[in-house]
Structure 1
Amino acid sequence: MKSIYFLPLFLLTMTNDAFSQSGKTYILVHGAWHGAWCWDKVIPLVQARGHKAIAVDLPGHGHDTGRTSDISLDDYVNEVVKTVNAQNGQVILVGHSMSGIVISQAAEKLGRKKISALVYLDAFLPRDGESLFALVDATLKNLTPNSRKPMLVENLIVSEDHKTNSVNPAMVAEIFYHDCAEEDKEFALPRISKEPIAPLATPLHLTDDVYGMIPKYYILCTESRDMDKTFLSTHVPCKKVYKLASSHSPFFSMPEKLVDILNEVK
């Protein structure tokens, strides 16, 4: 966390409104089992560049874990849409992992008037009619002999009612945070939550006229151990594909390099 602690004090005390007057606005959406807390290192670094950054807690995550099993994809999307509509002007939507499907469906609802770009951080990048589960199947089928072993699939634990899943606690650190500092692991591991299954099984409704017209950027984490997403980075045309030699969690392991990339996105 040194990079945060040594930022000039005035940068940390300025409000997001001040940043937004001349900079860009980033809406940061966490992946499965995580929460807005995973962006804690990223937000002050984005602000230090003169931009605004808002991390969203999707329903059932972060500070909202009281309700999980009956959450839908619409619930996720509506939370993002509400956050975006509360901002002045256009925003850049950044989705990590699972939330690639969330930002895609939200962008379809919001359109180019509100969304200037979509950034997929080692995320699921969908076409019309696909669900996250369908994307997982396609990704597994397109793994090459040189692909890393997809550790996540074999370490999922499904609840008895089949409404939520979780990750094998003994493997979470290895799957998500293998290159992260011990203090980051100690921060993240107690905050990992259950994930509703319904949003993952819901097909998306996307159109060429709306979703297809919004510029897309992909950040591929080349050392990610959950699942090699090389296939996904080419699944839908992107304006640019970046590569980070990081785990699935560069917001912890290399936040400065991640923010360097985000800063390039128009």
Structure 2
Amino acid sequence: MTNEAFSPSGKTYLLIHGAWHGAWCWDKVIPLVQARGHKAIAIDLPGHGRDLGRTSDIGLDDYVNEVVKAVEDQNGPVILVGHSMSGIVISQAAEKLGGKKIAALVYLDAFLPRDGESLFALVEATLKSLTPRSRKPGLVENLIISEDHKTNFVNPGMAAEIFYHDCSEEDREFALPRISKEPIAPLATPVRLTDDVYGKIPKYYILCTEGRDMDKTFLSTHVPCKKVYTLASSHSPFFSMPEKLVEILNAIQ
């Protein structure tokens, strides 16, 4: 989804969904960004949204290349916004694209990696950071692995509670049927990042303090960020509080 009529002084945001989701999760955000004179684009990563043709053989490079292509199609610098799993994706894409093309990286309750880390490694480190008292059953306990161990999906009976507990019934009815399988390979692949490229691109973190998937407080401090914002929302503020989310995005330079 794109918006061609935007202010010449406006920013360009490329919105990247997290695991099991698609470009559809940004439907409320895009018009709000556009209303502020900016350009907003949401894409489906391979195997998600409208691109469900293949899933099990998708790797991290497939995700990254899709983002790189979308960025290269834009004039001028782009702000990459990655939700959840896609913190990994936007980090690797930024390393490939460089600071002249990527104005900033925004991690929306996302996995924020250092060089050599995979999403699985970050999940393990995040869980270790929690005290037994603060750790509550969430996403990890409700993942179902396929028989061939190439994909996983979220326990359908718990997805609404994990992702959308503060969202409207209308939003839940929209989102739940659209949740798809997630390839495992991208989650297990370490990123390759350098201080000279990735390290110099400004980073911002938006921590969703009421998320019931996993407490990401640890991740918000894992790599230095210019600023850490908080939203008292579930893991899905693009549904539950899109206006507040866009206020934060608009403040990022």
Partner of 2:251: 264
CA distance in 2, matches of 1:225, 1:147: 12
Residue 114 of structure 1 deviates from its aligned partner by: 0.4
Q: Of residues 174, 177, 180 in structure 1, which corresponds to 2:164?
A: 177
Deviation at 1:217, TM superposition (A): 0.2
TM-score, normalization by structure 2: 0.98
RMSD, matched Cα:
0.9
Report how many aligned residue pairs link the two structures: 252
Describe the superposition over 1:206-251 as per-residue Cα deviations: whole angstroms up to 9, x where unpaired.
Answer: 0000000000000000000000000000000000000000000000
CA distance in 2, matches of 1:195, 1:133: 13
**Could you tell me which residue of structure 2 aligns to residue 70 of structure 1?**
57
Aligned match of 2:118: 131
Distance in 2, matches of 1:149 and 1:63, equals: 33
1:251 corresponding residue in structure 2:
238
1:70-89 alignment to 2 at 5 Å?
Answer: 70-89=57-76
| 4+ residue runs over 4 A deviation | none
2:41 maps to 1:54? yes
C-alpha separation between the residues in 1 aligned to 2:133 and 2:31?
Answer: 37
Structure 2 CA distance for partners of 1:150 and 1:211, relative to 1, 3 Å: farther
Matches within 5 A, 1:88-127: 88-127=75-114
Output the CA distance in 1 between the equivalents of 2:37 and 2:135: 37
Unpaired runs of 5+ residues, structure 2, are none
Distance 2:7 2:94 in 1: 20
The alignment's TM-score, normalised by the length of structure 1, stands at 0.93
Compute the displacement of 1:148 (Å): 4.8
Aligned partner of residue 19 in structure 1, secondary structure: coil
Structure 1 unmatched runs, 5+: 1-14
1:190 aligns with 2:177: yes
The alignment status of 1:222 with 2:209, answered yes or no, reads: yes
**1:156/1:229 CA distance change after superposition, 3 Å:** same
- Deviation of the 1:111 alpha carbon: 0.4
Identity %: 87
Could you tell me which residue of structure 1 aligns to residue 190 of structure 2? Answer: 203
Deviates more, 1:18-27 or 1:185-194: 18-27
For residue 80 of structure 2, what is the amino acid of its counterpart? L
The one-letter code matched in structure 2 to 1:126 is P
